Amino acid sequence: MGFAPAGVKLIAGGAIVGAVGGMIAAWSRPLGLPVLFLGLAFAGFSAYFFRDPERDKVFAPGELACPADGTVLSVKNEGTPGITVVRIFLSVLNVHVQRAPMEGKLTKIKFTQGKFAIAYKPEAAQNQRNLMRIDGDYGRFVEVEQITGSIARRIACYLKEGDTVRQGERLGMIYFGSQVAVYLPENVRVLVKPGDKVQGAETALALW
């Protein structure tokens, strides 16, 4: 079990605050114990939230990997001809690292400023977001969109346009409650439905 890069500093910071609280508690418990508990609680929450487990599942030929952990909100066409959109809600309890659904070349990264609605609401589609397009063999493509929620409002993208990605490779991370949208050609058979619990790079999302 590893940790996302942004979480390491927060974990270390909480541990340092806890250590300082411990030293103060040795001199005055009423002053030091709250600082100790606060620091350790913050470090523990950061370690849990920024956890980044290894995922090494080998998918069957033609399977697309789910890009995120969470709960499927919807599977439908949202007005763009020929495109099915799968929306996944990530609570603060889910792993927040996103992964590539398929092998290919990252041909587009588009960051868009937007609102900060609650991530499971329909209006979250207009939130601040980052869209990544992966093009593969035989004209196949998939787009993964990282969408912020209403709390931390930060998106991290680990790659750049032109990079080649492997299926299951880390694409980036969204901080705290958030949503991931996956845009698929309609000739893809989606294997999940609203309400399903999914895991990034573990659940088969769709089949070519």
Can you tell me whether residue 165 is helix, strand or coil?
Answer: strand
Determine the 3-state secondary structure of 117 from DSSP.
coil
Instruction: Supply 50's token pair.
Output: 């920024």
Any catalytic annotation for residue 178?
yes
Q: How far are the Cα atoms of 67, 97, 119, 175 from residue 7, in angstroms, in the given order? A: 20, 12, 21, 10
- What three-state secondary structure class fits 169? coil
Q: Encoding tokens for residue 32?
A: 């030091």
Point out the catalytic residue in the list 28, 46, 74, 178: 178
Amino acid present at 128: Q
**Structural tokens at position 129:** 């977001």
Q: What would the two tokens of residue 71 be?
A: 């709960």
Encoding tokens for residue 150? Answer: 């209403």
DSSP single-letter state for residue 103: S
Tally the residues of the chain.
208
- The 10 Å Cβ neighbour count of residue 179 is 26
- Considering only CA atoms, which of 100, 89, 8, 6 is closest in space to residue 55? 100
Residues classed as catalytic: 178
